[in-house]
């Protein structure tokens, strides 16, 4: 029997959210095991709030020799019987190698030598969720249902949003500006949402505060809370939202998974066939360049609950 399990998932936010179903499936497959998660500092508090892990470990992703040796000692000290590598990167392939030369744990991942290797040559052409499900099936976990999110709770009173609000997510990867719909169009959409009796709420990182302020200035009914939410609060906001509109980004994965009617905007910078948010009420709008996407089309696609 496997009594100690390690799950590896480092980020980014959208990728981490899409791994919640696999994380739950791993816990259900090992109900009595001690399960640790290795992740980055950004996800620690959120991961500790889930019901799936006994311990959350941090990889600071530093590259100096001292940090590598400290990480090696931590991995070997865990005495894990099985590792589920949900990151499947060159870095996590190195984890596999440093856990030797003594007997390594069983390993679910893509690294050469893994006991449960996901070696489908088409894996990079699969949607993230299908790819992870196939990887876990090889390791003896036959199904990965959508995660139960009933554990997601947070007191949102401090934001004073009222009963009906819709999330706007105007940010995305700073180094990929083509993923972003024009901020002026988000402001126009905010006014449309407010006219329906729903408060527009702008969410994002503190680095995206200027985007939130831009919208709030041009739509006085909008509320800018960029940079003010923890991940747990952001997920709770997403679960209760009347709807959500945003670029291909982590908060849109939260909104979609939480069940909010979600409209996700894709440019040629990313492929929804590989990474689109999944949920019960998701609409994908795609243009090679988002400058060709009109506010009226986005507004028509958003069916608020």
Secondary structure element (H or E) that encloses residue 233, with its range: helix 231-240
When pLDDT is cut at 50, 70 and 90, the band that residue 268 belongs to is: very high
Q: How many CA within 13 A on the CB side of residue 80? A: 28
Summarised one tens digit per residue, pLDDT across range 100-159 is 777 889 999 999 999 999 999 999 999 999 999 999 999 999 999 999 999 999 999 999
The structure's pTM equals 0.94
Fold matches, 4-138 and 157-301: yes
Q: Where are the domains of the chain?
A: 4-138, 157-301
Cα–Cα distance measured from residue 29 to residue 141, given in angstroms and rounded to the nearest whole number:
7
Cα–Cα distance measured from residue 234 to residue 250, given in angstroms and rounded to the nearest whole number:
10
Q: Is residue 230 over pLDDT 90?
A: yes
Q: Is residue 165 over pLDDT 80?
A: yes
Q: Is residue 233 over pLDDT 80?
A: yes
Q: Which two tokens stand for residue 84?
A: 């589920």
Question: Mean per-residue pLDDT for 237-243?
Answer: 96
Tell me, what's the pLDDT at 174? 85
- DSSP designation for 30: S
Query: What is the arrangement of strands in the sheet containing 262-266, beginning at the earlier edge strand?
Result: 223-224, 199-202, 165-169, 243-247, 262-266, 282-286
- CATH superfamily to which 157-301 belongs: Glycogen Phosphorylase B; (3.40.50.2000)
Q: What share of the chain is helix, strand, coil (3-state, %, to 5)?
A: 40, 15, 40
Secondary structure element (H or E) that encloses residue 236, with its range: helix 231-240
Summarised one tens digit per residue, pLDDT across range 23-56 is 999 999 999 999 999 999 999 999 999 999 999 9
Cα–Cα distance measured from residue 209 to residue 225, given in angstroms and rounded to the nearest whole number:
8
Whether 4 and 79 have beta carbons less than 8 Å apart is answered as yes
Cα–Cα distance measured from residue 239 to residue 281, given in angstroms and rounded to the nearest whole number:
12
Domain 4-138 is found in CATH 3.40.1190.20: no
């Amino acid at each position: 029997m496997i009594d100690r399990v390690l799950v590896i998932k480092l980020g980014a936010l959208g990728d981490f959210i899409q791994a919640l179903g696999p994380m739950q499936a791993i816990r259900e497959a090992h109900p009595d095991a001690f399960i640790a998660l290795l992740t980055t500092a950004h996800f620690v508090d959120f991961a500790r709030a889930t019901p799936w892990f006994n311990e959350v470990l941090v990889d600071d992703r530093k590259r100096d020799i001292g940090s590598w040796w400290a990480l090696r000692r931590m991995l070997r000290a865990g005495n894990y019987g099985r590792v589920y590598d949900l990151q499947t990167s060159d870095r996590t392939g190195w984890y596999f190698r440093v856990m030797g030369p003594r007997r390594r744990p069983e390993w679910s991942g893509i690294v050469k030598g893994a006991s449960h290797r996901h070696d489908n040559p088409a894996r990079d052409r699969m949607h993230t969720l299908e790819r992870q499900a196939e990887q876990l099936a090889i390791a003896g976990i036959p199904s990965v249902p959508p995660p139960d999110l009933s554990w997601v709770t947070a007191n949102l009173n401090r934001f004073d949003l009222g009963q009906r609000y819709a999330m706007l997510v105007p940010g995305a990867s700073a180094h990929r500006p083509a993923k972003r719909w024009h901020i002026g169009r988000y402001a126009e959409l905010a006014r449309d949402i407010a006219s329906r009796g729903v408060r527009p709420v702008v969410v994002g990182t503190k680095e995206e505060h200027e985007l939130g302020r831009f919208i709030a200035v041009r739509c006085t009914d909008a509320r800018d809370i960029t940079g003010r939410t923890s991940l747990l609060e952001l997920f709770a906001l997403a679960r209760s939202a009347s709807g959500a509109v945003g670029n291909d980004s982590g908060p849109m994965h939260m909104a979609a998974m939480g069940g909010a009617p979600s409209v996700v905007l894709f440019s040629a910078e990313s492929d929804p066939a590989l990474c689109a948010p999944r949920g019960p009420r998701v609409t994908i709008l795609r243009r090679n360049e988002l400058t060709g996407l009109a506010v009226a089309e986005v507004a028509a696609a958003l069916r608020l609950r």
